Structure 1
Amino acid sequence: MPKQPVMSLPFPTSPVSGMDEPLSGREKRWRRWRRLSIFAVPSAVLLAALVYLSLQRASDLSVSAASVRTAEVETRQITEAAAFVGRVVPMDLVQLTAPETGRIATIHLRSGDTVQAGAPIVTLSNPERELAISDRLARIQAEMFTTSTAQTGLSDAGNQDRRAYLEAAHLRDEAAERLRRQEVLLERDLVNEAYVAPQREQLQFRTRVAEELRVVMERNGPSRRSQESAASAYLAQLRENQAATLGQLDGFVVRAPVAGRVLGLDLQTGEAVSAGDPLAQVDPGKGVLIVAQLDAFYVSRVRKGQPGSIEISGRVVPLEVAHVSPDIRDGGFRVELALRENVQLNPGQSLQGRIDLAASGAFPSIPAGPFLEQTSGSWIFVIDADGRTARRRNIRTGIRAPDRVAVISGLKTGERVIISSYRDFGDAKVIDLTGETP
Structure 2
Amino acid sequence: MDKIIEKKRFSKKKLLTLGAILAFVGLVAYGYSLSLNKIYKADADKLTVNKVIYGDFEDVVLINGSVVPLTSVIVSSPEGGTVAEIFTENGATIEKGTPLLRITNPNALSSYTSSETSITEQINQLRKLRLDLEQNQRVMSQDMMEIENSLRTATRKYRIDSTLYSKKVITQQEFNVSSQDYEYYQGRKKILKEAVRQENQSRVMQLQQIDFSIGRMNESLETIRQNIENMTIKAPVSGKLSSYDPVIGKSYGGNEMLGKIDVLQGYKLQASVDEYYVNRVKEGQSATCEFDGKTYSLIVRKVIPEITSGQFQVELIFNGKAPDELRRGLSLQLKLTLSDNSKSLLLAQGQFFQSTGGSWAFVVKHGKAAKRNIKIGRKNYQYYEVLEGLQKNEEVITSSYDQFNQYDIIELSK
TM-score per shorter chain, which class? Answer: 0.7 to 0.9
Structure 2 unpaired stretches of 5+: 1-31
**Which residue of 336, 343, 347 corresponds with 1:355?**
336
* Structure 1 stretch displaced more, 93-102 or 409-418: 409-418
For 1:163 and 1:437, how far apart are their aligned partners in 2? 125
Q: Give, as a single letter, the amino acid of the residue that structure 1 aligns with 2:65.
A: G
CA displacement 1:142-186 (0-9 Å, x = unmatched): 122222222332333244334323332332233223433454565
Counterpart for residue 175 of structure 1: 154
1:75 counterpart = 2:56: no
What value does the CA root-mean-square deviation take over the aligned residues? 4.0
1:258 aligned to 2:237? yes
The one-letter amino acid paired with 1:319 is: S
Superposition pairs of residues 81-120 of structure 1, within 5 angstroms:
81-120=60-99
Aligned to 2:381: 402
Instruction: Assess if the C-alpha contact under 8 Å between 1:389 and 1:431 holds in 2.
Output: no
Give the distance between the partners of 1:386 and 1:133, measured in 2 at CA: 89
Distance 1:174 1:71 in 2: 127
Cα distance, 1:296 vs. partner? 3.7
Instruction: Determine the structure 1 residue equivalent to 2:406.
Output: 430
- Normalised by the size of structure 2, how large is the TM-score? 0.75
- Residues 318 and 247 of structure 1, relative CA distance in 2, 3 Å threshold: same
Residues 170 and 286 of structure 1, relative CA distance in 2, 3 Å threshold: farther
What do the CA deviations read for 1:238-280 (whole angstroms, capped 9, x no partner)? Answer: 1221111112112212222222222222222222111121112
Counterpart position of 2:359:
379
Match of 2:291 in 1: 312
Structure 1 residues 21-74: Cα deviation after superposition (integer angstroms, max 9, x where no partner):
xxxxxxxxxxxxxxxxxxxxxxxxxxxxx9xx9xx9xxx9x9x999x9745344
* Secondary structure of 1:342 counterpart: coil
Q: Deviations over 1:88-142 (max 9, x none)?
A: 2222221122311111222222233222222222221112221122111111211
- TM-score w.r.t. the length of structure 1 is 0.71
Deviates more, 1:224-233 or 1:381-390: 381-390
- Using the alignment, how far apart are the partners of 1:316 and 1:85 within structure 2? 17
Distance 2:81 2:235 in 1: 19
Counting only pairs closer than 5 Å after superposition, residues 188-227 of structure 1 correspond to structure 2 as 195-227=174-206
Output the CA distance in 1 between the equivalents of 2:314 and 2:126.
57
What's the offset of the Cα at 1:302? 4.0
- How many Å apart are 1:193 and its aligned residue? 5.6
Residue 21 of structure 2 is matched in structure 1 by: none
- Bigger Rg over Cα: 1
Query: What corresponds to 1:278 in structure 2?
Result: 257
Supply the AA of the counterpart residue of 1:207. Q
Letter in 1 for 2:359: W
**Would you say the 8 A contact 2:361–2:374 is kept in 1?**
no
Report the CA distance shift for 1:341/1:102 in structure 2 as closer, same or farther (over 3 A).
same
Equivalent-residue separation in structure 2 for 1:349 and 1:246 (angstroms)? 43
Report the alpha carbon displacement of residue 235 of structure 1 after superposing the two structures with TM: 1.9
Aligned-pair identity in percent equals 21
- Structure 1 residues 295-354: Cα deviation after superposition (integer angstroms, max 9, x where no partner): 3443454444443222224x1331221424273523444332222333131223222111
**Aligned CA distance change for structure 1 residues 243 and 433 (closer, same or farther; 3 Å):** farther
Question: For residues 231 and 268 of structure 1, what CA distance do their matches in structure 2 show?
Answer: 47
Query: Is the partner of 2:59 in helix, strand or coil?
Result: strand
Paired position in structure 2 for 1:341: 321
Q: Separation in 2 of the partners of 1:260 and 1:372?
A: 48
Alignment of structure 1 residues 20-35 onto 2, 5 Å: none
2:397 to 409, 413, 417: 417
1:233 maps to 2:212? yes
**CA distance in 2 between partners of 1:65 and 1:183 (Å):** 145
User: Displacement, 1:403?
Assistant: 2.8
